[in-house]
Amino acid sequence: SALAANVCKKITGRLTSAIAKQEDVSVQLEALDIMADMLSRCPKEVYPHVSTIINICLKYLTYDPNYNYDDEDEDENAMDADGGDDDDQGSDDEYSDDDDMSWKVRRAAAKCLDAVVSTRHEMLPEFYKTVSPALISRFKEREENVKADVFHAYLSLLKQTRPVQSWLCDPDAMEQGETPLTMLQSQVPNIVKALHKQMKEKSVKTRQCCFNMLTELVNVLPGALTQHIPVLVPGIIFSLNDKSSSSNLKIDALSCLYVILCNHSPQVFHPHVQALVPPVVACVGDPFYKITSEALLVTQQLVKVIRPLDQPSSFDATPYIKDLFTCTIKRLKAADIDQEVKERAISCMGQIICNLGDNLGSDLPNTLQIFLERLKNEITRLTTVKALTLIAGSPLKIDLRPVLGEGVPILASFLRKNQRALKLGTLSALDILIKNYSDSLTAAMIDAVLDELPPLISESDMHVSQMAISFLTTLAKVYPSSLSKISGSILNELIGLVRSPLLQGGALSAMLDFFQALVVTGTNNLGYMDLLRMLTGPVYSQSTALTHKQSYYSIAKCVAALTRACPKEGPAVVGQFIQDVKNSRSTDSIRLLALLSLGEVGHHIDLSGQLELKSVILEAFSSPSEEVKSAASYALGSISVGNLPEYLPFVLQEITSQPKRQYLLLHSLKEIISSASVVGLKPYVENIWALLLKHCSSYARSSVVTAVKFTISDHPQPIDPLLKNCI
């Protein structure tokens, strides 16, 4: 309100004056605390005075009259982590007397800056110009509590940057070099320079702040430390090896190392693997379970670093395999350990086998047997399933034959468990096993899985259904001889799902892929016409009616998928659909399905050879059924996408010459514009615009606006003058 704004204005002025004129530290502290509260509680009203508050805070952030910071000496020794520790400690002893209260002012200024950064999100670019360099320069603060608040203020700045990266990465803004991310990137060398020396300080709190800072920096700006890894690794190792380090400090150091490993190229760490492996392995053996758990996570990432599978690498991982394997297998075998450690050990060993399995020799089959035991354990089975999925997908083609005979039936049994995550994980594992180990699977193994599938194909859980259908698709491509068994309950569930109004998105796409894979296998009683009859039978049966319109669209898409896989069957089926539309004795349901099927088939296959197709669809525009008319409109637009030069001019001409059908024809045009490629539409954009603006009756306005939207999104430049003329 105006009153609050006026109060904030007066208070800010008086507080600023009080801070500047008063020598009493307690008054300065109270004034800064009040400013911080105002920023948090009245952000809107205090906004006009933020710049003033920032200037005051920046001034008193460096208020230390009893100490002279020797910047030049620090710069000269910036790369010598050990050289300054004793001097810094001596400074603390010399100037930390009870009479010096200036640190409280600096701390209050840091907290006030924290409040500014946390509440003024829109000022990020300005913060990176003024506040960020000032905070970085104060990482050298001699008082530990003040230093912690300076770090916290900078963490708040990084966290404010993190959620808006999509905005910060705008290409136009990036060209100007003035976005917060680009400014942060330019300040990374200064941040590292200020931090790396502190990472070997005696203060545990300071080192924890450094690790938290680096973690957040990498999360905001992945890859930012690529050029600085040689400087930072010694500091991380120092905390991992330091016997005086607290458990929390080691956990923070490991967590920081993990984030850095995840967000930088493996090659960056290869010169430092020899130094990193011993302390990490030692942490895996630590008696405190939280350190062990975090160390296993780092070990898993180190395995990816020393032997990346997604890119060529000349690094020799052999010297480190034994140590990494030994420390992990010890935790994997242990029975009396924390649940999190058990799961991390399974995941880590899965990564070791995935990336290094060809170097494990006789240890491999023994380890796989342990996995088999963990698969039988209710507590560890889900993690083990994920690990086996990882191993089965390895390009090293790990030999899993020793465990498949017993493992696959166990996996099949998981599909009936009332645990959704386990079902999804198991389906993923079975899918990759079918793809990569089909030669090692027997018919009995496959049958055991197929027996469990029918209950999974249901509209009650579309994601599980999608995964089950994807598995069947893989089976059809890799192991077609097993498909004869699906013609019973599995196929019934699939056909039932096609008729569900909930089938859409990923599940529908999976269904279409399955029918295309199935129809080309040549399985008895599962040919093109067999499947077509199963899909369309309920519509043509007088005793059965589909209640949901979405069901007709799904069936039509499945019909089109079958026809695309068997193009030779297309002409006869398309001809039959045309006759169904023309037949006066056809029900509205039959016409609806026939029109939608024609549209879906024509979207992918050129139907211009069907000479009477245009007239049949236009005649359907006169149907008394609104659903049939809507389907005819959709069909005309979809068919046009299959041959734009043939059908688009025809649609435009009909819009001009048939005002009574204009609404339906505009819907056809909308379908064309939304589905056709940009290149295909380009020659027609101006004609489309001219027609849309000329024939814009009130009842067609909605369709016109939608069509205009699509042309604008696809062709911003050609239509700009036309759009301006309409404003």
pLDDT in tens, 653-681: 888 888 888 889 888 988 888 888 877 87
Residue of 599, 591, 613, 698 whose CA lies nearest to 642: 599
Q: How far apart are CA 566 and CA 60, in angstroms?
A: 78
Q: How far apart are CA 651 and CA 640, in angstroms?
A: 8
Q: How far apart are CA 581 and CA 583, in angstroms?
A: 6
CA–CA distances in Å: residue 596 to residues 384, 517, 602, 654: 46, 22, 10, 20
- pLDDT at residue 367, rounded to an integer: 96
Q: Distance between alpha carbon 592 and the CA centroid of its chain, in Å?
A: 39
| Neighbouring C-beta atoms of residue 142, cutoff 10 Å | 18
Fold of 1-91+98-198: Leucine-rich Repeat Variant (1.25.10)
Look up residue 471 and give its amino acid: F
- pLDDT at residue 245, rounded to an integer: 82
Q: How far apart are CA 217 and CA 226, in angstroms?
A: 12
Q: How far apart are CA 102 and CA 125, in angstroms?
A: 30
- pLDDT at residue 57, rounded to an integer: 85
If you average pLDDT over every residue of the chain, what do you get? Answer: 85
Phi-psi region of 177 (alpha: psi -120 to 50; beta: other; left: phi over 0): left
| Neighbouring C-beta atoms of residue 26, cutoff 10 Å | 11
Domain assignments of the chain as residue spans, ordered by start: 1-91+98-198
- The model carries a pTM of 0.85
Would you say 635 and 599 are in contact if contact means Cβ atoms under 8 Å apart? Answer: yes
Residue 644 CB-half CA count within 13 A: 18
Low-confidence ranges of the chain (pLDDT < 70): 1-30, 32-33, 35, 37-38, 40, 43-47, 68-100, 163-177, 542-547, 695-727
What is the chain's Cα-based Rg? 34
- pLDDT at residue 85, rounded to an integer: 46
| Neighbouring C-beta atoms of residue 532, cutoff 10 Å | 21
3-state SS, one letter per residue, for 266-298? HHHHHHHHHHHHHHHHHHHCCCCHHHHHHHHHH
> Which pair of tokens denotes residue 684?
């027609």
Would you say 599 and 638 are in contact if contact means Cβ atoms under 8 Å apart? Answer: yes
